[in-house]
Chains A and B, each alone.
Chain A
Amino acid sequence: MDAVDAVFRAIGDPTRRAILDELTDRDGQTLFEICTRLAMKHGLTSSRQAISQHLAVLEEARLVHTRREGRYKFHHLDTTPLRSILERWPIREQS
């Protein structure tokens, strides 16, 4: 899949946008923390497997990357791919 397509596909889903919201709130979370936040703060009842698949889509778009630290695995936010959107359609100042 084209890199731009991957970004639009990734952010075209409310659960994945909620994951990005929560990683914006605190960067570097375990899968369990992400699942708990989605359930408690967003009322989302997706299974852990479903959240894992959402994270894989976000990783494919390079919006999320994982970091292994010993036996732990943390998920980090990278908003760099979103820059292509603003570069393509710059926001004009209102006159």
Chain B
Amino acid sequence: MIRINITSVYVDDQSRALAFYTDLLGFVPKHDIPLGEHRWLTVVSPKEPDGPELLLEPSAHPAAAPFKEALVADGIPFTSFAVDDVHAEFARLSAAGVRFVQEPTDMGPVTVATLDDTCGNLIQLATMKS
């Protein structure tokens, strides 16, 4: 059966990305393997250590920069993560200096907020209503 084991975000700087995605967002490191000039660098949710991995992939390809800049200019998140309480995460992360371009917003079945990951991406946090 096919399944999702890994997904990527393209990050400007892998070291900075690892710090942001672990220290601030709360993921935990999974794999960190030297690979040429970059690293095979993945993190997982502490709630699902054997679940899908997020690959912090270098955005070294020349097409990546204009693509990422265009998404950011229009406020489009590169991807979205689930959180239990987006209002609490907004308060916690804002206090830690994280820049949100969209404060928590009620969108019907889901409440969302959008932050800057400091590595060239906007990331959406989403809480599904029960």
List the interface of chain A (C-beta within 8 A of B).
26, 29-33, 36-37, 40-41, 48, 71-74
User: Quick check: B73 and A33 within 8 Å, CB to CB?
Assistant: no
User: Quick check: A33 and B75 within 8 Å, CB to CB?
Assistant: yes
Across the interface, B74 reaches (CB within 8 A) one of A26, A37, A41, A48, namely: A48
User: Quick check: B103 and A32 within 8 Å, CB to CB?
Assistant: no
Across the interface, B75 reaches (CB within 8 A) one of A26, A32, A40, namely: A32
Q: How large is the interface on B (under 10, 10 to 19, 20 to 34, 35 or more residues)?
A: 10 to 19
User: What secondary structure prevails in chain B residues at the interface with A?
Assistant: mixed
A72: chain B residues within 8 A (beta carbon): 72-73, 75, 101
A77: shortest Cβ distance to chain B, in Å?
16
A78: shortest Cβ distance to chain B, in Å?
20
Query: Looking at A26, A29, A30, which has the most chain B CB atoms within 10 Å of its CB?
Result: A30
Q: A71-B69, A72-B101 are in contact. Are A32 and B76 (CB under 8 A)?
A: yes
Query: Looking at B72, B73, B101, B112, which has the most chain A CB atoms within 10 Å of its CB?
Result: B101
Among residues of A, the one whose C-beta sits closest to the C-beta of B107 is A40
